[in-house]
Structures are given as C-alpha cells and as structure tokens.
Structure 1
Amino acid sequence: MSTPYPRPSNPQLSFPCLEKLEQRSQSLEENGPEPAYAKITEDKVDIFRSTDPIFLDYGGYLPQFQVAYETWGTLNSNRSNAILLQTGLSASSHAHSTAKNPAKGWWENFIGPGKYLDTDKYFVICTNVIGGCFGSTGPSSTDPSDGQVYATRFPIISVNDMVRAQHRLVKEHFNIDRLHAVMGSSMGGMQCLAYAHEFTDEVAKVVSISGCARSHPYSIAMRHCQRQVLMTDPNWNKGFYYGSLPPHTGMKLAREIATITYRSGPEWESRFGVERADPSKQPALCPDFLIETYLDHAGEKWCLEYDPNSFLYISKAMDLFDMSLSARTKAARSRQQTEARYNGEYVPDSELEYKPVDQCSFDEPMRENKRTRRMTPEEAAEDLKRGLAKLAAKEVLVIGVESDILFPAWQQREMVDLLRQGARERGGDGSNIRHVELSKEDSFYGHDTFLLALDHIGGPVSDFLEN
C-alpha cells in the first residue's frame, strides 16, 4: 500500500509580484504592446531632419537622421539669446508644456516667464538625443538602407555624437551662430561640455549640473548591472522584440537598480526608515518594506515608458563619456576613417591626416594612447586637463550635490580644478570657472536634486546666465 504524501510543515509562500509580471505579459500578448514612447509624433513635438550622413565616434554612421525638439520663448532679431537645454538619460524634449503638448514637462517649474530659465529673456531649445525614442532617430527607427527597424544594428553612439546632431539643428534650422549658453543636468551636464568642446567658438556660457568630465567605475558598474538584467530578459531577444512582447520585466528591474543611484540614503531614512508596508502581515519575499514597495512602484511605472534598446545605447554612451585629450583624439581619428570608407577611400591609419582637437597653446598634443599599461593618476589628470583646455577660457558654472552618489561631488570639484588650472595656464586667474556645491543640509535628494530642489539650483543658474 502506498504511503500518503506527507503534509508539509509550513504553507508555500505566495508571490503576487511574480503573478503581476505574468499578468502583464498575458495582457501585452492579447492586446499588443503600446509603449508610450511610440506615441510621440509630430503633433506633439517638432522634427528636424538631416539627409546628410553623420559619422560617429566608434566607427558607425547614420545615413540620415532626425531630431525631435521643442522650444519656449522667442528668438531675438540677432539670434543671440538662445539656450540649448540638454537632457538626462531617459528624458524627452518635453521639459515644459507647449501648445502642441500641454502636459507638464520634466522641468515645468524651472522654465517660463520670470522663472529661473526666463523665457521673457531667452529662447530655450530642448532636444531628444539621437539614440533616444521620443521622436529622434534611435534603435526603434527604420534603417533607410533596407527599410527594416535598426534594433541592435543601430551603431554605438557617444555623447559627442549626440551634440553633433544637435548642432545641425542649431545651425541649419535656426541659423544660430552662437548660443548664449548650453546647459544640462546628469547626462545633460556631459552634453554641455561636449558641445562646448566640439563647437567652442559657438558657445558663450556653459552650465553643467551634477555632471562629470568622464565616467567613473562606480557609475559604469551600476549601469552595467542595469543592462545585464535587461539583456537577460528572454523577451529582449538580442534587441529584436519590436512588434512582439517587450522585455518589460528586465526594464522594471533595470529601473529599480537605477532608482537606487538617483536618490540618497538620508532621504530614504527620513521617508521610509525600515518600516514594513503592512506589519500585520507575515514577512514576504515580494516587496515588503516601504523602500521595496517604492522601488517596485518606480519600476512598474517606467517599464513600458521607454524603449529598452534606447536605454542600452544611451547608458553605454554615458559609460564611454571621456573628455580627455587622448579619448577625443582617438574619436576624431575614428570618424575620419569611417568617413573615408563611406566615400570609398582607403586611408591607412598611419597616413590618416590628424585633425587636432586641441587648439590651445600647448606643445604637440597627445596622440592616441597605445600604451599597454594604465595611466598613472597624474597622467590621467593631465590628459583630462588637456582635453578640457578648450573650455578653460569660457564662462563655466559647475554645480554639484554632496549627497549625490551617482555623480559624486568630487567629480565636479575635479572638473572645476582642472578647468581653473587650464585657465591659469592661458594667463587667466580662473575666476571665469564658477562652482556651487549643495550641502546635505541644502539638499538630501541625491542625484535627483536638480529635479526636486529648484530654488537651490535655479538661483545660481539664473544669476550666471544674466551676469
């Protein structure tokens, strides 16, 4: 006679968080995915189209491209009051409401008549970067060469590639010879440095908020983890998921990891402590603590709001960001090679004409670093200083936040120190390089301070733009 199956000691745990993911997959399969980013059309943004190819830092090119943009204020008669506002990783061009799109923008209370970015004085332009998914050419766009979606056939891009695309909009569409300022936060802080480096004589002022001059290992490691959890979602399918079930689970988890880096421990201690969402219930492996439910909500809210491939490409561009002279020289040579191949030419690297990226009064600029050993800290600092030298004579405002763990305050201090060294080597006193650092008392919001502590950010920005 068989023995009855023994009764377990304890009941199996329930997993409502996993059931929710399964239910979403089923709903998407039945009703079809309708990601929010796919709904961005010309009835909500303006589109600039370039039919000329753009050659990229890492050997690829786009035969043509488009840039989605929005504007606020009025361009004056001599076109001297324009400010190019650059975005963070996942932001669209919708920084403020417009007639086309009256929904509130991500910097709604910062931009407008009489506000910190005063549209009674300035003409503000904000774009969605190439590689993005809110109207600009990116992985979800169609490759004009074969009529198929790019997916992961989209080339690796850099932050400098993004600003060269923006430059065509500024020059070819708006016919602006010199911007009053370029400014941005987070990846936007990277872009404003890149724009001023690429088009030095076409920028008067630079505002970098919670940015850096090159990525550091911690931020690269965190973005690596985000990409890995996304790419291991089986629905990612090596990037070819368009028209089918998107990798929403991977995107949710990637966003949760990212959210950890956007805020600060002191803020979370104040908001959540170590409280559980419902202490009357037994502990669970699904979100249980208040901080867990917060992260879960952040991931749920975002997982269908942004194209997964765009997230991969743009986060990689942030990792690759490096304003050192050796990095910018290598990128310039790579673009020249790509353009030569595009034109049917073969130019051996040894014979490739060197177009210097450094026009300052230094000795022979550093060539591409082919050493097998790592640079010493002193060599790396010198390399970065020389890469930033083109900006050293500019009016530059750098803002950092002590509680920021993603772009820590030491990175802004490093940038300021190297820019001031460069200014002094050019005969100045470095007073053109201004630095503001918000203490933990002023803001404990971490990296997201630029979105949440507008008064502490806005005052220094508006003063700098006017004076």
Structure 2
Amino acid sequence: MSSSIPHQRPDAPSFPCVDANESRAAKLATQANKLTFIKQNNQNQVKIEDVEGEGPEPVYATPTPATYQSFTSHYPLLLDYGGVLPNFDIAYETWGSLNQDKSNAILLHTGLSASSHAKSHPGNDTPGWWERFIGPGSDYAIDTEKFFVICTNVLGGCYGSTGPSSPHPEDSKPYGTRFPIITQFDMVRAQWRLIDSLGIHKLYASAGCSMGGMQSIAAAHLEPERVRSIISISGTARSGSTAVAMRFAQRSCLMSDPNWNRGFYYDGMPPHTGMKMARQIATITYRSGPEWEQRFSRKRRVTPLSDDEMATNVNNPGDAPKLCPDFLIETYLDHQGEQFCLKYDANSLIYVSKAMDLFDMTKPALMDIDQHRKRNENKVNKELLGSKTSHSMEPPSLDSVQVNNRKPYISTAPAVPYAQELTEGLTRLSKIPVLIIGVHSDILFPFDQQRELADSLRKGGDPERVKFFALDGPWGHDTFLIDTSNVGGAIRGFLI
C-alpha cells in the first residue's frame, strides 16, 4: 500500500520555507555547470562563485590585481598541530600610503567570514565591511592620511587566501577536509610573512574585531618586538565554553547536511541547507535580545490585502499562525541564512570556526601548542634545506621574559580560576600599549571576557598602558560594525 506524499494531499498545509529550500536545490542542480563553486584561474587559486548576486562581502570569482593583491609564500609553513602547507596565498588590500621608514602600518584582522575588503577603493567600489571606520581625515577611526592599512583574508578562508577550497599541491583537486587543522597563530604567521614581504619591520598597530581581536593579540604574542600597539575589539584571550558550543552547533548543521559529503562537495551540490541553518544560529549570537525586542518584539508578518479586499474595505484580521517563518524575528533569521548560504565556503566555516574554539592564551595552553610544534619541527626543517632564509616565527619561551618595574594592580572583577594562568600567558605583551573595547550586550564574546583580558594585561605590566572601554549599545557583538561614534572614537583617540 503506497502512501501519498504529504505536500500533494489536498488538505496538507503549505510550507513556503520548505518550498524555497527545494527550489534552491533544484536551481543549483540545473546550474551545476555554472555553479562549480570552484574556479581555477591563472593564479592557480580556487574561488567561490556567487550565483545569487551581490552579498555583504565581495566575492572574488574572477580575481584581478585591481580587485585585491595576492602574496604567495613558497616556503613551507609548519602549523601548530603538525600540518604543513608547502606554499600558500594570502589575499590582501591596502589603503593609505606607507611612509618612508615604513613605521605607519596597521594590520587589520577580520572576523570569521569577512574578506580583505574592509573599505572601498578604486579597484573595488563595493562598500567594505568596515567602510565607515577607515578613510582620509580625522573623522574616521583610522585616518588613511596618517596610516597605511593592510587587511587580509585569513588563511583557511575562501576569498583569495589558501583554504579548503584551494587546490591540493599533489593533485590540484580541492583540499576539502584534507586541509590541515589551523589555529589563530597559524593565520597570523601567514600574515607576518606578508608583512615581511612588504619590508615592514614593526607595525604601528595590530588591530582586530571579533576573531580579529584574538589575532591582534596573537600577532603581538608571536612578535612582541614588532608590534607598537594592540587594538582588540569584542575579542577574547580565551574562547569560552558557550561560544565553543554555539560554533559546534553550527558545524554540526553543516556536517549533517548530506551534501557536505565529508567535505568533498566541490564537484556537486554544496551543503546549502546546513549552511543556512548554521548562519541562523550564528546570527542569534551576533545581535542582542534588547535590540530585537525594540526592532521586532512579538510582531508577526501580515499578508497585504488583495485588490478585492481593498476595494470592499475588508479589514485584515491578521494571518493565521504558520510553521514557517511567521514572527518578524523568524523572517529576519530566515533572510540572514538565505543570503549567506551560497556566499561562503562551508569547509572554510568549519576550519576557521574551529580555530576560534582552539584559541587560548593561558600559559598551559600555550605550552601545549609549543610541545606540538617541537614534535613536528623536523617536517619543515627538511623541506627548508638549502633555503637562505628561515621563516620561523618562534618567540622566546615564556619563562625567559622578564617584566621590570611592574606596578601592582588590584582587579575589582569577579575572580576566575584561570586568572593567573592567563596573566602568565600574556607576558610577552607586558610592554605594549593596548586598547580593549567590550560591549555589555555581547552574548558571543561576553563583556566579562574583555574585562578579564584587560585585568590580566594590567597585572602583567604597567596598568596604565591598558585602555579599556565598556560600551552600552544594544547591538550586541555586531557593535563593532555599527557604532562609529563610540568604537570609532575610542580607536581614534588611542592612535593619536
């Protein structure tokens, strides 16, 4: 006895959200020849093709020097957990001019899914993800008449830098999940090679937001003598368990999508359903309840009156509840997931988010990574035989760093069991001026994490070198993208 398909039953309810997902899948299937998420060009790079139009981030389907610049390292890069990249590319863009002694460079680190396109420029007039914070003149947080700004797509990303969608050197097919596990330190090591290639010895500032706030610290930890100052906005020195759990849930959505195919989907259907679900979860963590209450409250979407209803002045009593997006907050999440699910590579999301989870600046965690690297050093040393230049970024051991004239600092924040370990892990930053910005409404990187970072830095060196700003805006984690007045003002004042 055969059963009828539910949506073919005359009494079955409609599910436009399910229909939309099925329609997207059908469209992808019929456009398979155009939708080859991978395109190999004359630079031997793999890119993500945008099939849905312009997105919030520029997509480099046909890269040219006018769109962004590309740095290629031909020396092997040893990764923290034993992997080796024989060579790699880093996509980057710049604004402003490097001064004669190359002392005015600011390295801007990005959030998880951002590209190098932080600001529009003649080669790409699309507004960047930090468009209103960078520009000529004192009205901007970072004045490009004074500073030379460099922003990269991170190692592991999919907007021009080497990542899981890039060709494996052995067979030219996408790495997929053959790509090695990476850390924030690995991403920063790749950036330091770019900085070396530009002839820059010391950064005026290592600055970043969200994940970039982690990297701003990591860059100074690896090369403390090469960073004049640090700006960490809505970042953390140690990924908390709640954030780890949220990112795990996102990866679970992706990896449960049959189209993910254990990471080897590049010649078929992308895991668009899992990607949409993952983005919906992420969006919940990016904003705040107070903002959503103000914007959406419990309002539900209302179907506009038909022409007949308008003509007869029939009042619309409101739509009956639906199982698809019904409340305005639901439609918002649905929209965010829909517009993102084909904009970013799923494997990049998996690898880069895992790197965020692994970030931990406490001394025991750093010592554990050091042990992993020491066990695998021979992998790179063999490949570097004959090379004139060593590209090792290994700093001195933690125990060898001494801080003179340390001033006492008493924290008023609640004590955490890892406080002393975090202070010890941040020792290499003890002489570097730091700006930390936290937001009370941030639920992804809670405000207490920025306060912990500030307190640990103050305990480990001169407390007055650490500037801490606490913001009360309702926009949650995304405040660093929105609040040009307070975030921008704090940065501008710090860089003077």
- TM exceeds 0.5? yes
SS of alignment partner, residue 460 of structure 1 = helix
Query: What CA deviation, in whole Å up to 9, does each residue of 1:49-71 have, x standing for no partner?
Result: 00001011111111100100000
Q: Distance in 1 between matches of 2:380 and 2:141?
A: 45
Match of 1:197 in 2: 221
Match of 2:14 in 1: 14
SS of alignment partner, residue 132 of structure 2 = coil
**2:287 touches 2:478 (CA, 8 Å); kept in 1?**
yes
**2:202 touches 2:228 (CA, 8 Å); kept in 1?**
yes
Match of 1:82 in 2: 105
2:61 aligned to 34, 39, 54, which one?
39
Match of 1:384 in 2: 422
2:402 aligned to 361, 374, 377, which one?
361
Query: Structure 1 81/355 Cα, relative in aligned 2: closer, same or farther at 3 Å?
Result: closer
Q: Distance in 2 between matches of 1:54 and 1:357?
A: 22
- Do residues 313 (structure 1) and 351 (structure 2) align? yes
Match of 1:445 in 2: 475
Query: What CA deviation, in whole Å up to 9, does each residue of 1:81-108 have, x standing for no partner?
Result: 0000000000000000122211110111
Q: Distance in 2 between matches of 1:378 and 1:232?
A: 36
Match of 2:55 in 1: none
Query: Structure 1 358/241 Cα, relative in aligned 2: closer, same or farther at 3 Å?
Result: farther
**2:78 touches 2:380 (CA, 8 Å); kept in 1?**
no
- Do residues 237 (structure 1) and 261 (structure 2) align? yes
Match of 1:397 in 2: 435
- Do residues 465 (structure 1) and 488 (structure 2) align? no
Following superposition of structure 1 onto structure 2, how do residues 82-121 of structure 1 map, counting pairs within 5 Å? 82-114=105-137, 115-121=140-146
Q: CA deviation at 1:382?
A: 1.6
Q: Distance in 2 between matches of 1:354 and 1:417?
A: 24
Query: What CA deviation, in whole Å up to 9, does each residue of 1:419-459 have, x standing for no partner?
Result: 11111xxxx3x1001100002xxx10000001011111011
Aligned residue pair count: 428
Match of 2:280 in 1: 256
Amino acid at match of 1:31: Q
Q: Distance in 2 between matches of 1:281 and 1:412?
A: 44
Q: Distance in 1 between matches of 2:121 and 2:366?
A: 37
Following superposition of structure 1 onto structure 2, how do residues 317-336 of structure 1 map, counting pairs within 5 Å? 317-336=355-374
Q: CA deviation at 1:392?
A: 2.0
Match of 2:242 in 1: 218
Q: Distance in 2 between matches of 1:88 and 1:218?
A: 18
Query: Structure 1 168/254 Cα, relative in aligned 2: closer, same or farther at 3 Å?
Result: same
Query: Structure 1 358/185 Cα, relative in aligned 2: closer, same or farther at 3 Å?
Result: farther
Match of 2:458 in 1: 420
TM-score for both structures, normalised by structure 2: 0.84
Match of 1:143 in 2: 168
SS of alignment partner, residue 71 of structure 2 = strand
Query: What CA deviation, in whole Å up to 9, does each residue of 1:323-346 have, x standing for no partner?
Result: 11222222122223222134469x
Q: Distance in 2 between matches of 1:398 and 1:247?
A: 37
**1:332 touches 1:357 (CA, 8 Å); kept in 2?**
no
- Consecutive unaligned residues of structure 1, counting only runs of 5 or more, are 1-8, 346-352, 363-376
Query: Structure 1 93/40 Cα, relative in aligned 2: closer, same or farther at 3 Å?
Result: farther
Q: Distance in 2 between matches of 1:413 and 1:305?
A: 34
SS of alignment partner, residue 47 of structure 1 = strand
TM-score for both structures, normalised by structure 1: 0.89
Moved more, 31-40 or 125-134: 31-40
SS of alignment partner, residue 231 of structure 2 = strand
CA RMSD, Structure 1 to Structure 2 (Å):
1.9
Match of 2:181 in 1: 156
SS of alignment partner, residue 460 of structure 2 = helix
Amino acid at match of 2:467: R
Match of 1:132 in 2: 157
Match of 2:81 in 1: 58
Query: What CA deviation, in whole Å up to 9, does each residue of 1:358-389 have, x standing for no partner?
Result: 53238xxxxxxxxxxxxxx8662221111111
Match of 2:43 in 1: none
Match of 1:341 in 2: 379
Amino acid at match of 1:93: S
Match of 2:45 in 1: none
Match of 1:48 in 2: 71
Q: CA deviation at 1:144?
A: 1.1
Q: Distance in 2 between matches of 1:40 and 1:261?
A: 32
Percent of paired sites with the same residue: 53
